[in-house]
Structure 1
Amino acid sequence: MRRTHHNVYELIILPLYGVCENSYLDYRHHSDELLELFIQPPYIEVPLWLMVMTVKKMPPHEANRFFELIRTKMDPIFRKSSYPLTAEQLLKLLVDALTESIY
């Protein structure tokens, strides 16, 4: 767990928020009731959850490879697609782009 917390801090928290590691580690000890007072919208909470869980389950270099793969697949989608995209359209385009890279 210590290594996971350190990896999450280095890869996500420090670049994103710029807080020191001790502040980040202290923040984890706040009660859930206190944290529930600061409701995050899904567009903030879900990407952070995804990044944390990816770093937790993968070595940092593999997590970086995964995020770079997603970025390289999303960039052409955003450049070529008409706007506004729906969630279903974006998911379909991403699945198509990822499927093309497998074959």
Structure 2
Amino acid sequence: MSIYVGNLSYEVTQEDLSAVFAEYGSVKRIQLPTDRETGRLRGFAFVEMGTEAEETAAIEALDGAEWMGRDMKVNKAKPREDRGPGGGGNRRNNNFSRRY
């Protein structure tokens, strides 16, 4: 299981997050998703801790805490839903304006 960390500064680094979460146990992995087109950070991360007890301690201590000028949203990450193949859908059926 992993921890979802939201409302992050776009300036945050893996090292920054590792330092904060290391206060609550061993940090196994950090993911900082980026936008595919711009390469810019998306403002959230996923953190994996060594044990469930460490995850719980980090969530309880950090959810709502101010860090880097923002109030962090920290909770257990939900499993990613399978969206099936494709990814974009058929835009013609989404009420977009048509060009003639």
Could you state the TM-score of these two structures normalised by the residue count of structure 1? 0.25
Using CA pairs below 8 Å that are at least 6 residues apart, which structure has the higher relative contact order?
A: 2
Larger strand share, 1 or 2: 2
Larger helix share, 1 or 2: 1
Could you state the TM-score of these two structures normalised by the residue count of structure 2? 0.26
